[in-house]
Structure 1
Amino acid sequence: MSAGGMGPTLDDRGARSLLRTIPVRKGPDLQWAPAEPPRRNAAMPDARTSGPTAGRKRDPLIEPRVFEAAVRVYARAGWGGFTFDAVAREAGVGKPALYRRWSGGEELLVSALHNLDFPTARDCGSVRADLLDYARQWVHWYRHPDRALAGRRISLDSRARPALAALYEEMINRPRTEAAREITRRAVARGELAPAVRSSTLPDLLVGAMSTHWESTPEGSRARLRRTFPAYAETLVDIILAGAQAMPPRP
């Protein structure tokens, strides 16, 4: 008996045991049978499948698609129109996918340019081979108008935005500038150029001339320029090398 004189109380375990059976009618007699488990609402999460391990797998194609979309949006709209909303619409992805991967517009934009074949000088065995390879990368870059325009925009916009400038300098400008200057340093070490040739001279002449040639060509003539640009770049490399190789050693 309980302390209050009442009958024995039903503890939780007993209650659960009792509620596991309900009366069901079979024929004329009332019999007892185990209750069916409650039906799960399709909208309710299942404990067996919910949680961190049940999330959707990341789509490996999202990032390349977002990078291309980010460059297109930035080239067309500039920094003022560069938003996660605009990039998500252009890429055809949900905005949460962007927030899961990038902390903000600066990181997304610089990551996009960094991952879309931004020209980077490489060691191809000789100074001429190095310059030709570098020039061909720029030809490929200029054949994508959005990339070329985005590259010009970011060099200007970063001057007024310290966070953008820091990322651009760290991920793109500094490492690629150093890689380009290594062309001359390797050539001097091989004995192909005199030590008097500054490390910045060859890449500055090459990229500067290619950029000027592209920008000074009217839009209506760009289609033809895309066809002739490779030959122009090769001729430019030979002219630059002829001048550099004619430099005498330092006295």
Structure 2
Amino acid sequence: MASSPPSFVQLAAHPIRWRLLTELATGDHRVRELVDLVAQPQNLVSYHLRQLRGAGLVTTRRSSFDARDSYYHLDLERCAQALAETGALLHPALRLAPAPPSPAPASGRPPVVLFTCTGNSARSPIAEALLRHHTAGRVETASAGSHPRARLHPEAVRVLRERHGIDVSGRRPRHLDTLSSRRFDYVISLCDKVREVCPGFGPRSRKVHWSIPDPAGGDQLAFDRVAAEIDSRVRHLLPVLMSQEVLP
């Protein structure tokens, strides 16, 4: 007697859940945004989100801008693990391994990425440094804040140095306004508050949101956790950036 399909296959095979997974793969969204994106009633979207949360594929985080809101986030690491396990169940030779990122974009010029958060003292400079590190500078990247602090948070400097061997001690936060004349292919907000006020950077700019808590009020472990989450998100962003054709 044939066994039942793996739980990941059963979950992902449903058309609405697949649409939700697809939309969340690009960034974090509030439930009302997902309702618009998948064009389904809110009660139905909420039901399928609960199914995905129950499987550990999707998590929620209370918005730091409006505590009545929550952001839904797709755990890409968990998805990769589930896909690998699914392939192995069908045949041992089908066990999937993550492909290394391409060394350069498929064609055109390298993409230009801006990371934003409120103070530009922790989350966005960590993301900027990690993307530059993982691409060896082949992707142009910057970061800025809506209300920049006077200096980088010492714990942000520490975690980059200790975990990744990156020295950002000489960097200073900057205001979003200082970059108003520049154009970016991707503008990635890491803060729920800055998402609401971040300006546009040209018609070709693609906005993405990562709802990441501010570690500034926490201890060393809070910075370690946030840096690890940002690193995971940046590594999953790499194949997207490297596969994009960006015209001059």
TM bracket (short chain): under 0.3
TM-score between the two structures when normalised by the length of structure 1: 0.23
TM-score between the two structures when normalised by the length of structure 2: 0.23
Decide which structure has greater strand share.
2
Larger radius of gyration: 1
Q: Which has the higher contact order (CA 8 A, sep 6+)?
A: 2
